[in-house]
Amino acid sequence: TELRVSDFEKIRVLGHGNGGTVHRVRHRRSAAVYALKVVRADPLLRRQAYREIDILRRASDCNHVVRLHSVITTPSGDVSFLLEHMDGGSLDALLRRRGSRPFPESALASIARQALLGLAELHSRQIVHRDIKPANLLINSVGVVKIADFGVGKVLRRSLDPCDSYVGTCAYMSPERFDPASHGGDYDPYAADVWSLGLAVLELHRGHFPLLPEGAQPDWAALMVAICLGGAIGTVAEGAASGEFREFIECCLQKESGKRWSVADLLGHPFVARADGIESERALRELVRENSVES
Ligand code: ADP
């Protein structure tokens, strides 16, 4: 039988996005817990919701992409996504619950490795995310990291389908997407996802958005200046981290997209390859437990 929204009891709001609200819900009959993302009946939002559903379905067998269980529509035209509930929330909320205290490197190694595995799964299906940032990386109490929110994701039909440059959150956009020469969408969207991931990992290491002074609003002009001046970008102060970590970040944050490492290369980088060990996975689980969401 078809699911209805009334089959679920809303427990609390997990977050708000562009498209709508995400609730933690309990299926009344089975008591199973899910995240329910409700998108309003607005035609534009609905078109975007169906694009996101298409991507989530193509990625349904990915281990590091949040799982879509089903789609529920209402007569009024609302579209609801029944998603796997990630009980640790997003990495940006986790950072805030820590009072912006940086994540330890061991936990970051596991986060980087799992997010790269997710990107590898997506990229091998010609899917680009285009909005990788801490708010779109979710975690659970087992320590599993998954990529969420494909609101501006895209399935590339040809090997290098032109991509609109100006989608996603501008703060995490790679330099080539700011480049006037790429306004027609002439940039490598896979490499752009790598930049955003490098920036997200660096943010969790620093405790705040890394390209601008702490507290500054990441607007277009400030970002362009930061990226063009470049000095401090993509570098981690010596002594602040291990050589492996600094090098890993440098490989992700190469300003020239051609020099940036690919997802496959990065999975072989010592910083991440090392994360295969149980130590970093345990560090990550502990981090989630110490800063758990009150229930
Ligand atoms: P939008 O596409 O509208 O921006 P998101 O999918 O990014 O919405 O969700 C917004 C927020 O809701 C996320 O940052 C996260 O905090 C929370 N959230 C989304 N999906 C889940 C989930 N499956 N489990 C737990 N929390 C979630």
Structure ipTM: 0.95
Q: Is the CB of 22 under 6 A from ligand 1?
A: yes
Residue 61 annotated in active site: no
For 84-93, 116-125, 183-192, 220-229, which range has the lowest pLDDT when averaged over its residues?
220-229
* 89 Cβ closer than 6 Å to some ligand 1 atom: yes
Q: Return the top range by mean pLDDT from 75-89, 167-181, 232-246, 273-287.
A: 75-89
Catalytic member of 131, 149, 188, 193:
131
Q: Which pLDDT tens digit goes with each residue over 251-294?
A: 999 989 999 999 999 999 999 987 656 888 999 999 999 998 86
Å from CA of 82 to ligand 1 middle: 12
Write out pLDDT tens, residues 9-44: 999 999 987 778 999 999 999 999 999 999 998 999
Query: What pLDDT is stored for residue 231 in this prediction?
Result: 52
Distance 74 CA to ligand 1 centre (A): 20
CA 203, 208, 213 angle in degrees (round to 5)? 115
Distance 136 CA to ligand 1 centre (A): 7
pLDDT exceeds cutoff 60 at 232 = no
Higher pLDDT residue, 220 or 43? 43
* Residue 38 Cα to ligand 1 middle (Å): 10
Question: 67 CB under 6 A from ligand 1?
Answer: no
Q: What's the pLDDT band for 106 if we cut at 50, 70, 90?
A: very high
- Residue 39 alpha carbon, nearest atom of ligand 1: 3
| Residues annotated within a binding site | 37
Question: Is residue 138 in contact with ligand 1, taking CB distance under 6 Å?
Answer: yes
Closest atom of ligand 1 relative to the 17 alpha carbon: 3
Per-residue model confidence (pLDDT) at position 121: 98
- pLDDT, position 213: 79
Per-residue model confidence (pLDDT) at position 53 = 96
